[in-house]
Amino acid sequence: TGRKKLHTAPVGQVFRLRPFHVLVATGGGYAGYRKYEDYKLEQLEKRGIEVPVKLASEWEVALYKSVPTRLLSRAWGRLNQVELPTWLRKPVYSLYIWTFGVNMKEAAVEDLHHYRNLSEFFRRKLKPQVRPVCCVHSVISPSDGKILNFGQVKNCEVEQVKGVTYSLESFLGPRISTEEMHFSQTPPGNSFQQQLVTKEGNELYHCVIYLAPGDYHCFHSPTDWTVSHRRHFPGSLMSVNPGVARWIKELFCHNERVVLTGDWKHGFFSLTAVGATNVGSIRIYFDQDLHTNSPSYSKGSYNDFSFISNNKEGIPMRKGEHLGEFNLGSTIVLIFEAPKDFKFNLKAGQKIRFGEALGSL
């Protein structure tokens, strides 16, 4: 009897914990497998071989979501805040620089011993002269990164990568009332896309920029505009690298994101910072009330904040002005209206740096 009691108690505890362990191990293993598949796809693309689109099924997305990426991202964020001993800083940062191809010659402070922790290193500032802001074109790149897709928005669907789309309304959320925007009249339209276009003859455009871990992690204002409203969507923190964006439909709608909306000289303008694995922290410099990757959140919810009610004129932003930052790297999505003769000076897959031209009239 004594031996039976001795052995059954630990076994019972193991069985109570086993479902969680299996879920995490299975989800983590599958995420690792997807990383390997992404690597193979990248190699094919480098060789010029076109890769057919293969979307994830519902169970695959659910399995990926079972990985506690929000918890892991918060843990990673705390780890980033740990101050490293001076003797350890150069080896750690040098390994990161070698792995992700970071160009430290562009950094305002090149001495690696200056950065007390990983968070400071990720958020390093650049020398002013290395990112000149284009004065000729009306819209510039808000960040360093890779162009995943761009073009006109059609049928209320936006392409996150070629052939894989997401719903415009699901991404931005319900239409913000015109009282919170500088323009008061919106032409009547049947679709969500038509409701965003405020001037007759204009079209809606989009551009998706992916920030890799080695990129400069701050983002800036892409044009002269006024920010009127902020909408924060808590959500998952799945990877947003091009391979996953090609695999999961509406990936950007699943993930946590901060949508800034307002207007520029041609009407509606929005910039969305999309969170990702290990990038639960999204900071907007002028918005001290924003707190991302909170431990408790309601799935499918969002919270709004109007800058018109607290500042009658909204938040004016100049082209190239500092706007916010990620803690590691993620994705910026621009959605804006412009006249029909607006042209992008881009090609999909190209590398771009902050300050370079995206497009102009």
**Per-residue model confidence (pLDDT) at position 261:** 95
Residue 337 pLDDT greater than 90, yes or no: yes
Which pLDDT tens digit goes with each residue over 32-70? Answer: 655 566 666 666 666 666 556 677 778 888 888 778 777
Residue burial 36-60, b: 16+ Cβ < 10 Å; e: rest = eebeebeeeeeeeeeeeeeebeeee
Is 330 assigned a catalytic role? yes
Query: What is the per-residue pLDDT for 207?
Result: 93
Number of H helices, E strands in the chain: 10, 17
State mean pLDDT over 208-221.
90
The pLDDT of residue 315 is above 50 = yes
Lookup: tokens for 73: 């991202």
Q: Are 338 and 225 in contact (CB under 8 A)?
A: no
Q: Could you tell me the pLDDT band of residue 14, with boundaries at 50, 70 and 90?
A: very low
Whether 220 is a known active-site residue: answer yes
Residue 248 phi/psi, 5-degree rounding, is: -110, 115
Average pLDDT, integer, range 154-168: 81
Q: Is 244 a residue whose pLDDT tops 60? A: yes
Q: Is the pLDDT of residue 141 over 80?
A: yes
144 is catalytic: yes
209 pLDDT higher than 80: yes
Does residue 245 register a pLDDT over 60? Answer: yes
- 94 or 65: whose pLDDT is higher? 94
Which one is catalytic: 38, 138, 143, 220? 220
Quote the distance between the C-alpha of residue 46 and its chain's center.
24
Phi (first) and psi of residue 154, to 5 degrees: -130, 135
Q: Which of 73, 119, 138, 144 is catalytic?
A: 144
Beta pairing class for 225-233 and 218-220:
unpaired
pLDDT in tens, 298-313: 666 788 998 887 556 7
The answer to pTM > 0.85 is no
Across 309-331, average pLDDT? 84
Q: What is the pLDDT of residue 295?
A: 72
Q: Which two tokens stand for residue 265?
A: 């000289």
Q: Are 224 and 250 in contact (CB under 8 A)?
A: no
pLDDT band at 9 (very low <50, low <70, confident <90, very high): very low
